[in-house]
Chain A
């Protein structure tokens, strides 16, 4: 039975929890993009000449590139000259050295988002880098991590303190001209996290970055770089929120991961950018390039993502499996309610021998939401005995939403084995009635069924975040069923 619109409208009022605005004085770059702005940003961050040149090269490439149109998403034309490319809380002029120096208004903001930044209060075993608009405002547990040689710091500081590492790896996985948004990001990227795990070290705590867009008419262009040296391990999590605003806001991030021999990176995302209202007004346009390079043999990269926010999601966390016996994994839950559109998936590029990849994608569409799974598996000539397993499930709630699956397969080595499974189901009236007959409210029933559907992916998340993600799935679906 179909969802009834009145009931959808009825329960919708609750909406988005993270939609408040922090009232803090910020410093802006004037709107628009030019070489001057690129120089302005670079200067603000006191960057070395080579990085400025790198940015300018990216900017010039970007000018020659066209916005991609192949994704199954529609949105108003973005006016790149109407966006502000730099915004930072004024108090951050000289980056605070300790948490006591962080503006209380900012601490309160993160507190309200459920991310206390005082080390004595934070989640046990999780270090946090908090990025507010274009700058990092606080990074916890840095000293403790430094004891074991782990570098976890804002990107802009890594440029100063570890230029050799940044220079070596920046753009090594996602080249500046990789795509339109990656080139844009390379030109104007603001802040993000930098992580280096030395040889043989198992990072003693979860690392996480919370991205917060606050300023109006401002884009966020963060850059994250994680390097896991031989035999090391790290689990990293990012979370994202933004205020409710009537106009769209652009977010174009680049994330690069590198694993050396025997190393492993587990990268989890809970993306809850403001999705726009029920009529599709406002919301974040999320165009993100994420890619990991399994450089060394027997290394492993796992992407786990729970994508509930954003008006538009355009995102394909991928793995280049270069080292022999390396492993790539992609676990994804994407939810589109109301007018949200998500075009997301992954690319697994098998180069080395005996490389293995697993793709588990769960798409949930409700309201007028549209979901596309776009996944590519490429087995190159040298990838003897490569394996891929792809499972792609869609769940529809109501009859106005849509789910689409676009798999690309390119096999150049006949010893490889690929398996693909896909299902589409609809939350049945029968399932809902069964739950309600046992005393569950309709909302709880939907949340229960959806979480069951997503379980295979949720169980890949670190415990604390799995609970959060579970709640988020429930909240994001409020009003989805009548």
Chain B
């Protein structure tokens, strides 16, 4: 599904990612953990194609294609979804109108007919229920005046609507209380399947109690320093990033 090879990325001439190697297969859930500033969001943005991130070395293959050559909307159309750490507001554009435009843009790319209003409403009701997003929020302007938790639930709602092949979730857990966290995790788990892959970025181990990953990576200072199974997350929780970092010192 996704293969990252020796990826080096600079922002404003400053190296942020320093040789990332990562392979995710269909059906897998990988977690990336790391302290603030280690480059987690940078990795997510580079995968999604945001401007301002210069790849100086390495490559990324997605479904066998050169991902870095593709425009962001093409990546989305090909099934790559990014759940933003800080979703932006679009005043005056209703959430549901926005999603309809998105769903139909992606359907068009796949050569499918646009969903009509009735089918679309049916689908959105079903998916909103999945993440317990109140009807009222689906009608409000995109993320406008949403609380932190509402924004994150909205991201998962959008993901559920778009049914991506690869979902990259950037700190979808931060700012959520435990109940909201469970709702979000259930939404994510409902989407797990043999044809889908997920890259779950988190700062805390607690999300991984609810979304159990197949593989855990630790990202520190732009490099993956450890890779393991769920146990690695537990160890991190106990020893902290400092512990992992110290253990790496020669």
Contact = CB atoms under 8 A, between A and B. Distances in A.
Q: Do A and B come from one complex?
A: yes
A440 B105 contact: yes
Contacts of B106: 439
Interface in A395-436: 428-431, 433-436
Contact of B73 (A1, A429, A442): A442
Contacts of B109: 439
B102 interface: yes
B185 interface: no
A454 interface: yes
Nearest to A425: B91
Contacts of B98: 435, 438, 448
B76 interface: yes
Interface string B124-136: 0000000000000
Contacts of B92: 451-456
Contact of B93 (A429, A437, A451): A451
A444 interface: yes
B191 interface: no
Residue of A429, A437, A439, A440 with highest tally of chain B CB at under 10 A: A439
B123 interface: no
Contact of A434 (B51, B71, B84, B101): B84
Contacts of A428: 88
A436 B76 contact: yes
A441 interface: yes
Contact of B90 (A444, A452, A456): A452
A448 B52 contact: no
B158 interface: yes
Given A439-B102, A452-B93, A434 B88 contact: yes
Interface in B64-121: 71-73, 75-77, 81-82, 84, 87-88, 90-93, 98-99, 101-103, 105-106, 109
Contacts of A431: 88, 90
Interface residues of A, number: 24
Given A431-B88, A448-B98, A1 B105 contact: no
Contacts of B102: 435, 438-440
Given A431-B88, A437-B72, A449-B90, A1 B77 contact: no
Chain B: number of interface residues, binned into ranges: 20 to 34
A444 B71 contact: no
B12 to A, nearest CB: 13
A442 B105 CA distance: 12
A448 B93 contact: yes
B91 to A, nearest CB: 6
Contacts of B72: 433, 436-437
Contacts of A439: 73, 76-77, 102-103, 105-106, 109, 162
B105 A429 contact: no
Contacts of B91: 452-453
Interface in A61-90: none
B101 to A, nearest CB: 6
B206 interface: no
A456 B82 CA distance: 30
A229 to B, nearest CB: 37
Given A441-B73, A448-B98, A435 B51 contact: no
Given A448-B101, A452-B141, A436 B71 contact: yes
A430 B82 CA distance: 13
A444 B76 contact: no
Nearest to A447: B101
Given A431-B90, A436-B76, 6 more contacts: A428-B88, A434-B88, A434-B90, A438-B102, A439-B103, A454-B92
Interface of A: 1, 428-431, 433-442, 444, 448-449, 451-456
24 contacts: A1-B51, A428-B88, A433-B51, A434-B84, A434-B88, A436-B73, A437-B48, A437-B81, A437-B84, A438-B99, A438-B158, A439-B105, A439-B106, A439-B162, A440-B102, A444-B101, A448-B90, A448-B98, A452-B90, A452-B92, A453-B91, A454-B92, A455-B92, A455-B93
Closest 3 CB pairs of A and B: A452-B92, A452-B93, A438-B102
